[in-house]
Amino acid sequence: MLEEYLFTQAEHKSVLLLTPRTASGGAAACSQLNEALLPVNTTFFSTDLPPLLEYRAYQGNYPKNQQYWIASDGSTCQAVDATAKVCTANCNQRLPVLCSQSAPFVYPPGPSNSSKWEIAVQSEDLTVTGFRDQLSFRFLGIPYANPAQRWAYPEPISDLRDMSEDCLFLNIFTPYIPASNYPSEKLKPVMFWIHGGAFTGGSGSDPTFDGGNMASRGDVVLVTINYRLSTLGFLSLPGPTSQETTVSLIKLPHSIGVRALMGSPKAIGKYAVAVQMSNLAGSNYATTYSLYNTTEESYGTVVVPILEETGCANVTDQVACLKAYDATELVNLEDVARYVLVDGAYITQRELPLDGSAPVADVHFMMGFMRDDGAAFIGYPTSTNETAALEAQSLPVVPGNSLFAIPSGPNATLDVFNVTARVTTDIEFRCLDQATAYAGVVHDLFQDVWFYEFNRSYQTPGFDPNYPVCEAPITEDFPYGDPNQEYFKCHSGELYYVFGNLPTNRPPRDQHDIPFEQEMVDIWTSFARTYNPNPDPNYLTARRYTSTKEELKAEGAWTPVTKRSLAQGGMPVRELMRPSYQTGWGDMEQCASLGYPIDYYA
């Protein structure tokens, strides 16, 4: 049985669409879901239902004149067509079925909630129970691997188990549940989100990454995962067996993990597109997130301090000693492991081989960064002394370098921070991310390359160490901040937009926040569906996403990075803001002076 959402906006109800059956069969199927055939509602039928049904025709699932079962009028069976015209119909016809949808807008899971909206699906030998709300079907906390021994490769799930330090669970948000015989070519694209957190924190269950809006608006399936963090996920001791020297596949967060997976021989060929968001590469903090050490190289700097803190340094069996150590205490030590290592199985290269010397994933590739990505990775200056500020952050720029001129604003300390933040953004994000895209095109490594700079942000409060520099300035007219003024567009500031999840404590600041959020969801899910971040205008028309369609038409197309555009000095970067536009590589001279020119990898 195919169960599918037809969803419009938060203030409206969605409906459930079931595969064809007779009128009585449809009523029974709705009843099994604790619902009824969709009752006739003049307002809903005239305003909301037509575009929902028209989208089925756009998808090719049903013809434009298709009829759908709705609630009967007494003993008379009724159907509705895509224009919302209600008519009588032969009760024995097999028509797709529209059921009511009484679930809450967002279903809060918990023992006190009714089981009315629960739904169970079978996956081989595993029965998974989820629930539905007005946005999606959601299945949370699904185990995807057996309980793993510490520092050993995980194995696919074979049985259920109680909770432990093992965190290998995933969440699925889907707008539909396909029937067992559903054609594979009509299955929805799956977006697989690997959360960030520098390998030491974060969670796939963070409400920022809730997949309801992305699934319903973008018509995609979103999977978010948890994976082993800190020393439990990244400690590796030299030993005689591979089990003692491993870094498992599912321990690679976004913008970092995507890069590692793109060069992993075990991952290549298992996905069609990759989106690398704010990849750390270059100097200082960024070095070991894109340039990987071997187990032997990390032993002295990472392993030995952990052995000493745990009292396992001078024992005969160090692995056994560490395995017996309390998990919570282990990840809260002063010294922890947090870097991808070359294990020889999953990670075989010191870095992503962008010079064509080894295989990389031949996928459709989108990448980019926040305009001021590094501003949240450094401390705020304690004085107006530029030299002291640069030295305090281990930054390489000599004061007085005209390429990094200090602005002359009213706040001298903030002026210095402008320089330190810009240099940090360049050496940890911008320079080598741009060089990655450049090398990928020069060496024909990917199907295509799309590059962006995010220039509108709404900062996640959990990552705002230099508050309020990453916040839009608050004014009398803009009590939540004026995003049209200048402020730092910091790391993680795009996440609410990409997932469409502005929380209640981060309300819209102006008339553009919600439309921009919708546009970003449409762009990211378009890339998943079509391998192109430019949403198909026909898709936008069918979904009645009028504001996005009009805005994108006014902005013009996002063009990929190509050899031709590079040769002609084109505009290979999409500046994502309101309005968005095409621009060129940023800080080219600055990157070259820092030792990271555009042809660094090429």
Same domain, 122 and 88: no
Tell me the pLDDT tens digit for each residue of 176-212: 998 877 888 888 999 999 888 777 777 778 889 999 9
Most confident of 229-243, 386-400, 542-556: 542-556
Type of residue found at 341: L
Q: Quick check: is 170 in a domain?
A: yes
Q: Quick check: is 538 in a domain?
A: yes
Average pLDDT of the residues in 164-173: 82
Tell me the pLDDT tens digit for each residue of 446-476: 999 999 999 999 999 888 899 999 999 999 9
Average pLDDT of the residues in 111-140: 83
Same domain, 147 and 66: no
Measured between alpha carbons, how far is 569 from 290 in angstroms, rounded to an integer?
28
Q: Quick check: is 280 in a domain?
A: no
- As a whole number of Å, the CA-based R_g of the chain is 26
pLDDT of residue 152: 67
H or E element in which residue 232 lies = helix 230-234
pLDDT of residue 106: 77
Among candidate residues 55, 72, 99, the one where a domain is terminated: 99
Measured between alpha carbons, how far is 308 from 523 in angstroms, rounded to an integer?
49
Q: What's the number of domains the chain is made of? A: 3
Least confident of 17-31, 84-98, 119-133: 119-133
Give the residue among 443, 423, 448, 456 at the shortest CA–CA distance from 572.
448
Same domain, 477 and 575: yes
- Please give the residue that has the higher pLDDT: either 514 or 123: 514
Same domain, 59 and 127: no
Residue 68: which domain range?
3-99
Measured between alpha carbons, how far is 272 from 524 in angstroms, rounded to an integer?
14
531 by Cβ neighbours in 10 Å (0-12 / 13-18 / 19+) ranks as middle
Q: Quick check: is 354 in a domain?
A: no
Measured between alpha carbons, how far is 150 from 312 in angstroms, rounded to an integer?
15
Report whether 16 contacts 100 (CB < 8 A): yes
Same domain, 422 and 313: no
Q: What are the tokens at 275?
A: 């989106």
Q: What are the tokens at 221?
A: 């399936």
Same domain, 49 and 173: no
Inform me whether the pLDDT recorded for 7 exceeds 70: no
- Please give the residue that has the higher pLDDT: either 179 or 420: 420
Measured between alpha carbons, how far is 222 from 306 in angstroms, rounded to an integer?
37
Torsion angle of C-alpha atoms 331, 333, 339, 342, degrees rounded to 10: -90
Report whether 416 contacts 408 (CB < 8 A): no
Measured between alpha carbons, how far is 3 from 497 in angstroms, rounded to an integer?
28
- Phi and psi at 492, nearest 5°, equal 80, 0
Give the residue among 198, 310, 296, 291 at the shortest CA–CA distance from 244.
296
Inform me whether the pLDDT recorded for 155 exceeds 80: no
Residue 477 sits in a domain of what CATH number?
Answer: 3.40.50.1820
- Please give the residue that has the higher pLDDT: either 397 or 594: 594
Inform me whether the pLDDT recorded for 110 exceeds 80: no
Inform me whether the pLDDT recorded for 343 exceeds 80: yes
pLDDT of residue 295: 84
Average pLDDT of the residues in 266-288: 92
Q: Where are the alpha helices (DSSP H) in 386-445?
A: 386-392, 412-425, 431-442
The whole model's pTM is what? 0.91
Q: Look up tokens 């031709």; give the residue.
A: 564
Spacing of C-alpha 404 from chain mean position: 33
pLDDT band at residue 108, thresholds of 50, 70 and 90? Answer: low
Same domain, 421 and 450: yes
Same domain, 392 and 532: yes
Helix axes 546-555, 513-530, angle to 10 degrees: 80
Measured between alpha carbons, how far is 266 from 442 in angstroms, rounded to an integer?
25
Inform me whether the pLDDT recorded for 252 exceeds 80: no
Q: Where are the alpha helices (DSSP H) in 311-352?
A: 318-323, 327-331
